[in-house]
Structure formats: C-alpha cells, structure tokens
Amino acid sequence: MTDNNTSKNQPPRISVGLYRSQEDPDTVSSSDDARQFGHDFIILPIVSSSYKRFISGQNEQLDNTKNSKVIEEWRKNHVFFRDDLVIKNTDLVDYVVGQVSDWLDFDSPDHNVQINSEIALRQQISWACHLGISAVLISFPSTNSIMNYARSLNSILGSLTYTHVWCKIPLVLETEIMTDESRESSVTWERWNKFRVLCEHNSKLSIALEISAQLPDDKDLERWFAEPIKAIILPTSIFLTNAKGYPVLSKKHQTFVRKMIKYKPNFVISCNADSDLHENNGLAAYQEYIRYLNRTIPELTQIEQFANGYQDFLQSPLQPLMDNLESSTYEIFERDNTKYIYYEKAIYHALLDRVPPESDETTVIMVVGAGRGPLVTRSLSAAEKANRRVRIYALEKNPNAFVSLQNMKTEVWGDAVTLAFSDMRLWKPPEKADLLISELLGSFGDNELSPECLDGAQKFLKPDGVSIPASYSTFISPISSTKLYNEVAAHKDFVHFETPYVVMFQSASELTESQEIWRFEHPNKSFEVDDNEMPINNYHNTRYSKVTFDIKQSGMLHGIAGYFESILYKDISISIRPTSHTKDMFSWFPIFFPIKTPIYLPSKTKLEIHFWRLSASQKVWYEWCVETSYSSGVDTISLGSPSIHNVSGRSSWIGLLS
C-alpha cells in the first residue's frame, strides 16, 4: 500500500515526444529542435533512404550483374556503411526512438524483396539494440498478408533484452472512414490481434496508436484499453484551433487522451510538414496542450486512490482459514468505512425487526471471525441507535487478532462483549444466538470458504435466527487483457494458468456483462448433520453452472472475471459487480481466472462458460472451462478445443483445515 496523498494534486509528469516524417534528417539538429520545443524524445529513422537499393535490388550506379553480386554480398554479411545510417552513434541514444524503414515489404510477391526486407529488419533492430536505444517503431502491415512479416519479427523479438518494439497502428484505416459498417472500423484491431498472436504474445511487442481525426465509437475504443499501448501518436492535423489560435483537441479526443493518461503511455506529436502547424506558438503548442490535459485530469475517486499502484497487479487470494492474517491486512480492510456502514445498517434493521420497541428483551449477537473487532464496534453502535439491548460474543481463531480483541474489550467495549478463542466450526456456545454476523466473503463470494465456516457456525443460531450476510451470489464475465495474460504467461508454467488472482483491472475490458453462476444462503437447512451438528460431508457446497454469453463485438478472450453481490439483510446489499458496484467500497478487487490459450472470438460468437466449485475432505477448488461456438444462422460450429482448467484442484485450491 503506497501513500498517494502527495501525488494526488500533482499528476506525474508525462513524456511527450516528436515525430516528423522526414527522410534523411540530421540527427543532431533535429534533436536540438525537438528539445527546444519542449519534447522529451524524438523519433528518427535508423537508416537513410539510400538504403532502399538493397531492398529493391535496383541500383542506378551499377550494372545489373555487378549489383546482383553486391546484393548477395550484403545478404551474406549485412554490414552497414556509415553513410547509410541516420542514427550513427550513441550520442543521442537516451533521447531517440529509432524508426525502422517503412518501405520494407515482407509479404511482397517477389521472394527476393521478402528476403531483403527480413535481413534489413533484423539489421536495423540489431543496430538499435547495439546502441542501447529503448524502443524502435515499426510499420503496421499494410494488408492482411502479414504471415511473413510476423514470422520475421517474431524471430527477432525472442532475442531482445532491453529494446522494445512499438508497432505503429492507425486507430482507423484511411479507407474505413468512407464506410459505415462497424466491422470495417475493427480492421486494425483484427489485424493487430493476428499479428500479436503470431508473435506469440511477446511482451516486447507493443502498440504506438495513431489517433485519427474521426474517432470510432466507444465500443471500438474500449478494446484498445486491453492492449499493450506504449505510445499515443497525435498528428498535428487532428488538432482544432481555439479562439486564441492555439491548437486544442475535440471534447471526445480530450476524454480519450485523459483516459489514456492513466495507462502512462508516451505521447508523440507527429507532424508531416511545417504547413500543418497551427498559428500560435508553433511546434511547442501541442506538447504544452497535452501536458495541460494531464495537469487538469479530475481527482481520483476513493477506490482509485486506494487501488493506485495495484492496477493489473496479480495477487493470490487470501487463505484466511489456513493462514492467520497479519495486522496490516486487518488495518487495510478496516479502513473501508463504506462496507461497515452497510453492515451497521443491516444490523440496525435486524435489531429493530427482532425485538419490539418497548421490549427489554436482549438480542444475542455472535460475531464470528471477529478479527480485530470492527463488526463488534458496529454492532454496539447499531444497538445504541436502535435502542435495543444486546449481548455480543466475539469469536476469533487467529491468536494474534485475539490479543487486539482483548485490548478492545478492556479499553472500549467492557462487559457487553464476551470473547471466545476458537475456530467457529468447533466452538461450543453457552447460549444460542439471534444474529450471526460475519465478514468472510472473498472477491468470488464463497472463495474464502464462507459457506463452510457458516455451516459450522449456524448451530449457534436459534431456529429463527438470522445470518448477516443472508446470501451471496457469484458473477462471472469474459475478459480481454493482454497485460494480465502476459503476467500469467511470464511464469512459463501450467500452474499459474490454473490459479485465480485478485486484481484491480486497468488494462482489461469486459467482453460482455457479467452473469450469476450460483448463490449461497445462510442459515442453510438443506444438509444432514452428524452428532456434532456438523455436515456429514461438504457436497452440498459444491456447485456446477453453465452460463452463455453472446459476443457482439469480436475480441480476444484471456480469462474470466469474477465478482459477488451479497444481501446482508433484506434490501441492504453490497456488490462489487461493475454494473452495481457499491460506491466507494474498496475492500474487494475482482478475481481473475486465466485461461491457458487466449481465444479469438469473432462477433456473433456464443460463449459458454462452465464453472465448478468442488470439494474434497481437506480442500475446496474451482474448475472452469470455456466453450465457444459460432452460428451463421444455418450452421453452428464449435471454435477451438475446450479445456477444463485446474482438474481435481491440481494447481490451486483453498485449504479447509485451519
């Protein structure tokens, strides 16, 4: 947890570079210019146009036979001649992004042009790496024939260590602006997606997204947020002119850029010719404007503040039964005032309903898994507001938290509260309770074993006793996120793909709205008990559910997001589902279940997700499986091969033993 108070009012500086599409510029004077106009870096070609002679095989200064031999020698040795280079040495290395020649043609019908282009690509990137340039910019494949380009690039990506490759992708292809069809406007994403898949999702390959004057609709924009965008290219031509003659962006562009700033990309002002510039302030005005947008982004919400630094960071879910939580973990969760306000409200209404106003009857409350006591405090507060007598038991099995409870009893609560040190599945209560209060929910609802714990604790309840929460439902949705996929894949093993993670989504997009897969209710009267009033086995807490999603817009499926909604008491609920998220409540990030192989989903795909909650004597685990099919109206065909993840809990599980 980092303290973000200092940064709240001063957004971090953003990086803005310059990109002038000139052939054969002078490195030193161009860089000086860019610096003078306030840019943090400049994009310059790696080689000069003279180098073209190797690609086409045409050289006016040599006869054909001689030239052919020169090319073959170059193919063999590919040494640079100093004169062919724009970036000649390491002098400006920290200030420069190298541009690979955009006249290479990897999928030319001429096999020799293919070969020469591949050699040139390798040679240029290799030179940039040698110099220690941090990124090179490559062109987006101009047609759908990208196979040989992808293969060539992929064979290079594997050897990169420091240098990254930015693929320049136009947000909208020129030709697309002409048509209304939404499918057309997704051509660039589809092509990028295929390119990236062919490059084995290599994390060294990212996007430099070139923004167009016309923005596609929000759905189309949305999916770029799930992609690895390292740079946003803003041509000067898309800027409008404000009343004072300064360049500004349209409202829609402003929103997009401000949203993008969260992802901390590099911005690039691109300028074809000086005639493209706006009246006032020349080249400097654009970067100043982008920095102005950065300075004036709205303040972070409470959840954003809390989540800052945790975006897209994969955390293992808590195992509160097996592990004892640390004090700092309690500390963090106790800060979530919103959650406790809802709990207090639920307890308050339950107390009102339980005992008539005039009665002096005492309501027995048991807080199970009391931790350091926040729900005890809220129970006391609810009782005071409701003007009802209560007797409270606080039960906790973590010996360290139990010390905090003793401190609270001594210093604050006094006789109203009785402490008990025990696992709630084993405790023998001195009396039965009216209200059983717990906060055992995980991001997926039941994933911290709330059902099993409350099954054990419900024997404390009077026959008409009430559990808060009364129920919780689990929701899932299909998710696209290159970032999260790469994080999981980086482990290079099988186990991490069969493990759920708690994660605050940022570079991720929901492919469609979440749906409920199952629900738990408490108290649960449906199971048989043994002599100790414990369930004979745990099969009643297993679940199997299949939900079907209609995919309208094509996308790449990387995993499944999980959320919960919980009814605490009657109409008092909390939720972490995106569409019903309890405002300002930050205790739970969503949960993410990866899938082993990303699945391309064309539009009109039907996606079936199968989910299981399974149990053996000592553990609980989830299995999941994704099936996709496409319906043309006439035929329905299955896409891809479904694979059941985490069979028998082989990779991840939650321990039932404390």
Residues that bind its own copies (CB under 8 A): 68-69, 72-73, 75-76, 111-112, 114-115, 147-148, 150-151, 154-155, 158, 194, 197-198, 200, 527-528, 536-537, 539, 542-544, 546, 597-600, 602, 604, 610, 612, 623, 625, 627, 630, 632-635, 637-644, 647-648, 650
The residue among 210 and 623 lying less far from its own copies, judged by its C-beta, is 623
The two three-digit tokens of residue 478, written as one number = 């299909």
How many whole angstroms separate alpha carbon 467 and alpha carbon 506? 35
Cis peptide before 463 (omega within 30 of 0): no
Q: Give the H/E segment covering residue 352.
A: helix 337-354
- Among 437, 394, 388, 384, residue whose Cα is nearest residue 415: 394
Q: What share of the chain is helix, strand, coil (3-state, %, to 5)?
A: 35, 30, 35
485 among annotated binding-site residues: no
The residue among 33 and 516 lying less far from its own copies, judged by its C-beta, is 516
Whether 113 contacts 148, CB under 8 Å: no
3-state secondary structure of 175: helix
Most distant CA pair in the chain: distance in Å? 110
Whether 375 contacts 343, CB under 8 Å: yes
330 among annotated binding-site residues: yes
396 among annotated binding-site residues: yes
The residue among 253 and 613 lying less far from its own copies, judged by its C-beta, is 613
339 among annotated binding-site residues: yes
How many whole angstroms separate alpha carbon 137 and alpha carbon 52? 18
The catalytic site residues sit at 439, 448
The residue among 5 and 641 lying less far from its own copies, judged by its C-beta, is 641
Given CA atoms 524, 525, 528, 529 in this order, what sign does their dihedral have? positive
How many whole angstroms separate alpha carbon 441 and alpha carbon 297? 34
408 among annotated binding-site residues: no
Least distance CB 117 / its own copies (angstroms): 12
- Helix 147-157 × helix 187-198 angle, to 10°: 50
The residue among 64 and 362 lying less far from its own copies, judged by its C-beta, is 64
Q: What stretches of 285-414 adopt beta strand conformation (E)?
A: 362-368, 389-396
The residue among 107 and 487 lying less far from its own copies, judged by its C-beta, is 107
The two three-digit tokens of residue 397, written as one number = 């099995």
3-state secondary structure of 431: coil
Residues 6+ apart with CB under 8 A from 142: none
424 among annotated binding-site residues: yes
Tell me the H-state helices in 419-479: 450-457
The neighbour count for residue 158, using CB atoms within 10 Å, is 10
Least distance CB 621 / its own copies (angstroms): 11
Per the annotation, where are the binding residues for S-adenosyl-L-methionine? 330, 339-340, 396, 423-424
